[in-house]
Amino acid sequence: MSKPIYELVDELPNGGVTVMALRSLDFVVPGEWQNLIGFNNTITAVTGESDPAMVQAIGERAVALFNDKSQGYQNALWLYQTVDSASGALGAAALANKVGQDISFLGFLKNLTPKPEKAQSIDFSVKLVVELVAFCQINGIPGDSIGDFLAALGDYGGESLMRMAALVCFDGLVPLGPDFALKGLSALQNMSPKELEDNSTFKGVRSLIPGGDAAGQLSFITSSVDSVKGWMTDFVDSRGLTPESVVDNLTKFVEVSKDKLDYLGAFLDMTTNYYTHTGIQTLTRRLIERAVAEL
């Protein structure tokens, strides 16, 4: 049993590396993400209702919906949390958020090892698929519906769009370069199911990835990345994003150095948990939207 959903939302940080790194992406998706934290605060912000009795009633229904395992919200939370901790080499995400700005890039450098391109490509692809599966779990769409996910991506906003921006920038552009989507795809196409099974990020979440066995899951991940490739390429091109522009902005918020790009991906991986952070925000929003409509 995870923590109560209201505690998770009340405890979301307002500072630290994750929040600062996400703030640095405001230039990518201007005004989309305000780091909404606090359970009651979120209820009022989402619904526009501020009467305490009404807020309490919405909150109670949201808590009940989250706690009903058959509704998929807990699966989504687990996916977001697991993919974050499985991809961070030292699982230091939680620690980093607590000590916040005291974590310096240079101080960490000796503990960092850049991931081999293939491992990073798998990480990127698995994270993308986690978004797809979590989306289906939260919104109630059949778990392997790539088409529905693609249609919904066009309407992504707020913290969901910010999560995709961070995926594209921090797990794609920075560690893999401008052709990250193609690199990810070709890594998957040249991979055996066994290699996928050995990847720690995949191992963490594989129980909820559609496809049956490892071969089926590899094929599902490959077709997902292939389908979303166009959206990602357009996301980067239409905004003129480059690894340099992402890093330039990042340096305004987090103390990092620009000449160690290959270490930067590893640093972000280790010190941020942006999937968990924005994932909790997304799933809380959906719970509240449903709760207020059902009351």
Partner 1 sequence: MPTMKRWSSIVLSVCLCGLFFFATGCASKPPSPYAQVQQETTQRGAPKAVAKTATQGSQFNKFFPTSANGFERVYAQEKKGFAEAKLNKDGKNVAMLSISDTKSLPSAAQKYASSTAKIAGFPTLEIGTTQTGVLVGDRYQVKVLSRDPAFTKVERQSWIQKFDLNGLSKLS
Contact positions vs partner 1 (CB under 8 A): 1, 4, 6-7, 39, 47-49, 51, 54, 56, 59-61, 63-65, 67-68, 70-72, 138-141, 155, 157, 286, 289-290, 292-295
Nearest in space to 8 (alpha carbons), one of 50, 63, 72, 88: 63
Nearer to partner 1, 139 or 200 (CB): 139
- 105 touches 254 (CB < 8 A): yes
| Least distance between partner 1 and beta carbon 234 (Å) | 16
Radius of gyration of the chain, Cα coordinates, nearest whole angstrom: 18
* Nearer Cβ to partner 1 (255/289): 289
Shortest spacing between CB 59 and partner 1, in angstroms: 6
DSSP, collapsed to helix, strand or coil, labels residue 200 as helix
Which one, of 23, 112, 3, lies nearest residue 63 by Cα? 3
Kindly state the smallest distance separating residue 208's Cβ from partner 1, in Å: 17
The H-assigned helical ranges of the chain are 5-10, 17-23, 39-47, 52-67, 73-87, 93-99, 105-109, 117-139, 146-153, 158-166, 174-176, 180-189, 193-198, 200-205, 214-239, 243-251, 261-271, 274-294
CB of 22 to partner 1, least distance (A): 21
Smaller CB separation from partner 1, 48 or 240: 48
Which DSSP letter does residue 206 get? Answer: G
Comparison of 149 and 202: residue with beta carbon closer to partner 1: 149
Residue 86: other Cβ atoms inside 10 A: 21
Residue 162 or 292: the one with the smaller Cβ distance to partner 1 is 292
Report yes or no: 201 and 127 within 8 Å, Cβ to Cβ.
Answer: yes
Least gap, CB of 40 to partner 1 (angstroms): 8
In the chain, the amino acid numbered 19 is V
Token digits of residue 210: 């559609």
Closer to partner 1 at the Cβ: 72 or 204? 72
Shortest reach from residue 186's CB to partner 1, in Å: 34
Give dist(CA 295, CA 292) in Å, integer. Answer: 5
With respect to partner 1, which residue has the nearer C-beta, 136 or 256? 136
- Smallest gap from Cβ 70 to partner 1, in A, equals 7
